Amino acid sequence: MQAIVLAAGYATRLRPLTETLAKPLLPLAGRPLIDYVCDKIDAVEDVTALHVVTNSRFAPGFRDWAAARPGRLRAVVHDDGTSTNETRLGAIGDIRFTQEQAGLAGEDILVVAGDNVFDFGLSDYVDFWKGKGDGSCIAVYECPDPALVPQYSVVEVDANDRVRSFVEKPAEPKSNLVGIATYIYRAEHAALIPTYLAEGNSPDAPGNLVAWLHRRAPVYAFRFGGEWIDIGDKTQLLEADNALRARAGMPVRDAYSV
C-alpha cells in the first residue's frame, strides 16, 4: 500500500495566511498541520511509501518541509504544474496525476486530505479494510449536530457497513454519517480512476469518486471515534490550533497567527 496526501488546494478562504504558505504547512501547536497527518500514516506498517501532491506555487515549501521532516517514511513531493485556483487539477485529478508520476499501477492506495485533524488511528482503518476483503473504504463520522450534517457528504450503509448511498450536501439528510476525505482504494478500484475522469465526471471534491464507485464496486464505511476537525476557514483553523495546543500543554489563543 502507498499513501497520497492531497495538498494541492489554494485555500482561498484562509487568505492572506495562504498567499505564500500552503494550508497544510500552517503551524498548529508549533508544527505544520501536515505533520500530524503524516505521523498517522507513518504508524501504518502496511504503507511503504508516502506521496504528497501539491501545486507549483507551494511545491518549494513542501520540498523544504519534506527534507527536514523526521519520520519512518520519506515524503516524495509531486508538483502538479498548476499555479492558480482556476487551473487546479482537482483532488481526483491530483490522485490520477500522482498515480502516473509515481508509477502506482497495481497498488492499493491510502488517500488523506492534508487539512484533516483527527484522533483515530489509520492502522485501525487499514485493519478494518483488510477485514472486508473485497472493497474500498471511506472513513465516516457520526455528526452529533443535525444542523451541520447538510454541509457534508452524507453516507448511508447496510448492516455490513457497505455504502448504499452517498449524497453531497443533501438538503434533507437520511443519515448522520458524514464522510471525511480519508479513503482506501483497492488496486483494481484505483485503476478505475481514468475511466471516471474519461466519462467527464468532476475531477474535484474527492467524495465524488466514492459516489461514483460505490455503485460499481463494494465500498465500506469505517466509523471512527474521537475528534475530527475539517479546516476550511479561520474559525476551524483556530479551533484545531487550540485543541492541539491544549494537548501539548501550551496556552490557547484568542486569534490565530503563524
CATH of the domain at 43: 3.90.550.10
Residue 156 included in any domain: no
pLDDT of residue 174: 85
| Cβ atoms 198, 141 nearer than 8 A | no
Residue 231 to residues 127, 134, 155, 165, 225, Cα–Cα distance (Å): 27, 32, 20, 25, 18
Residue 104 included in any domain: yes
pTM of this structure: 0.94
Among all chains, which residue has been given the C-alpha cell 492502522? Answer: 123
Residue 125 included in any domain: yes
Residue 68 included in any domain: yes
Residue 50 included in any domain: yes
Among all chains, which residue has been given the C-alpha cell 519520520? Answer: 71
Residue 212 included in any domain: no
Domain span at 100: 2-134+181-203+227-247
3-state secondary structure of 20: coil
pLDDT of residue 187: 97
**Domains held by the chain: number:** 1
Residue 171 included in any domain: no
Residue 195 included in any domain: yes
Per-residue pLDDT tens listing for the chain (258 residues): 999 999 999 988 889 999 889 999 999 999 999 999 999 999 999 999 999 999 999 999 999 999 999 999 999 999 999 998 889 999 999 999 999 999 999 999 999 999 988 989 999 999 999 999 999 999 998 888 888 888 788 999 999 999 999 988 888 888 889 988 999 999 999 999 999 999 999 998 898 999 999 999 999 999 998 888 888 889 999 999 999 999 999 999 999 988
